[in-house]
Amino acid sequence: MKQKVIILGSTGSIGQNTLQVLAQHADAFDVVGLGAGTRWKALATQARYWKPQCVALANGAHAELAGAAPAGCRVITGPDALTRLVEETPCDCVVSAIVGAAGLPATLRAVELGRKVAIANKEALVVAGSVLMPLARRTGATILPIDSEHSAVFQALQAGRREDVERIVLTASGGPFRTATPAELARVTPADALQHPTWDMGPKITIDSATMMNKALEIIEARWLFDMPHDRIDVVIHPESIVHSLVEYRDGSVIAQLGTPDMRTPIQYALTYPQRLPCPAERLCLHTLGKMTFFAPDAERFPALRIGHAVAQRGGTLGAVLNAANEEANKLFRSGAIAFTDIAALTEEVLDQHDCIAEPDLPALLAADGWARQRLAQCAARITEHAARSR
């Protein structure tokens, strides 16, 4: 029996890598649904090749997509299109690969329906891990990580008993500005920040990697996926991105997962778990690699890690606020409106102004998300107005 797969965010970097994995194992998988945000032409091209039962587009272009989709393929458009795709298309696995909190509603629906969810959309966990994880336990949904660090931890956790785990160590490449001075960081342009040294990813996560906000989000992601307190989640800088993360057990043994930096490996593992199949990713050759390096992160130059730990510790609505403020700041930086170092500074300012609700339900989390976006815009306006006055 083939595994029926829906991909949310199929036109993105993770979505396209997922389709490459599925193409390698066409005998094992059937693509039944594809969903995207606005790029209807790319979605239609994928649909003509994969012939899914249904395609969904969040933002408009119904007539265009319907005209370009293959015969017999259902087309849904509109803000709830991806949630409806999940609801109305029977499947075994949902790949959650939309970027940002926009991925939460459809991911939540997949968990409600008890599906296997291969999750790349870390923002959904950062915003609503407190809702998604207990929900998955109730519905029997399995949430499997795609994020390379969390896939590595998931694999390393299989080496021992949960009660014997002492800590998780997430690796971070350090991004393109690992060695930059504070003055250099203040002058970073969007074009500089969009060049990642080891991973080829979508624009939002590439900027998050440069600010290290990605690692802050990943600390919170790990907190929810592995039910691990924040003070047992550490970060080490590892510029080569070969060791994808580690788990330390109480006897001092450290179990790591290694491989060349290629998202097809963790994507495939989430899809085939507990099986392993051949993968086209380049093989790791330690002889050629020669050496690997590791450094302690610098919390002075990259305040994101401190912010991530504080939010993981206090929980409540803070994850939703951190994520929303960062999403907005990330967008403003990409548009040239604010400086690179403003991203973390403004995000922290919004977090400081938030009255945290300790045990929020979903509506409270969504309200916190909306509040943070508005507040971030207000704080950023101060910077942009000041810049306009001094011109």
Stretch that binds Mg ion, among 41-49, 144-152, 253-261, 331-339 (CB under 5 A): 144-152
- Say if CB 8 and CB 32 are below 8 A apart: no
Calpha distance 4→56 (Å, rounded): 16
262 lines the binding site for Mg ion (CB under 5 A): no
Radius of gyration of the chain (CA): 21
Nearest residue to ligand NDP, by Cβ distance, number only: 12
User: Applying CB under 5 A, does 147 fall inside the site for Mg ion?
Assistant: yes
Decide which of ligand NDP, Mg ion, none touches 82; Cβ closer than 5 to 8 Å per partner kind: ligand NDP
Q: Give 3-state DSSP helix, strand, coil % of the chain, rounded to 5.
A: 50, 15, 35
- Name the segment binding ligand NDP (CB under 6 A); options: 8-16, 229-237, 313-321, 343-351: 8-16
- Sketch the per residue contact string, 190 through 219, with ligand NDP: x for CB under 6 A, - otherwise: ---------x-xx-xx--------------
**Minimum CB–partner distance for residue 21 and Mg ion (Å):** 17
Closer residue to ligand NDP, CB minimum distance, 54 or 379? 54
Per the listing, tokens 């969390």 go with 150
Amino acid type, 319: G
What is the helix (H) or strand (E) element at residue 170, kind and residue range?
A: strand 165-172
Placement of tokens 């032409």 in the chain: 41
- CA distance linking residue 274 with residue 277, whole number of Å: 10
* Torsion of Cα atoms, 247 then 251 then 252 then 254, to 10°: -30
Q: Is 84 in the site for ligand NDP (CB under 6 A)?
A: no
Euclidean distance between CA atoms 247 and 257, whole angstroms: 9
Query: Cβ-closest residue to Mg ion?
Result: 147
x/- mask, ligand NDP, residues 40-79, rule CB under 6 A, reads ------------------x---------------------
Q: Shortest CA distance to 92 belongs to which of 13, 216, 6, 196?
A: 6
Task: Check binding of 263 to ligand NDP (CB under 6 A).
Answer: yes
Selected range binding ligand NDP among 25-33, 66-74, 120-128, 244-252, rule: CB under 6 A: 120-128
Give the range of 31-39, 160-168, 268-276, 279-287 binding ligand NDP by CB under 6 A. Answer: 31-39
Bond into 274 cis (ω within 30): yes
Residue 15 binding result from Mg ion, ligand NDP, none, given CB thresholds of 5 to 8 Å by partner type: ligand NDP
Q: Which tokens in the block code for residue 265?
A: 């490996």
Positions in the binding site for ligand NDP (CB under 6 A): 9-15, 36-39, 58, 82, 97-99, 102, 120-123, 147, 199, 201-202, 204-205, 263
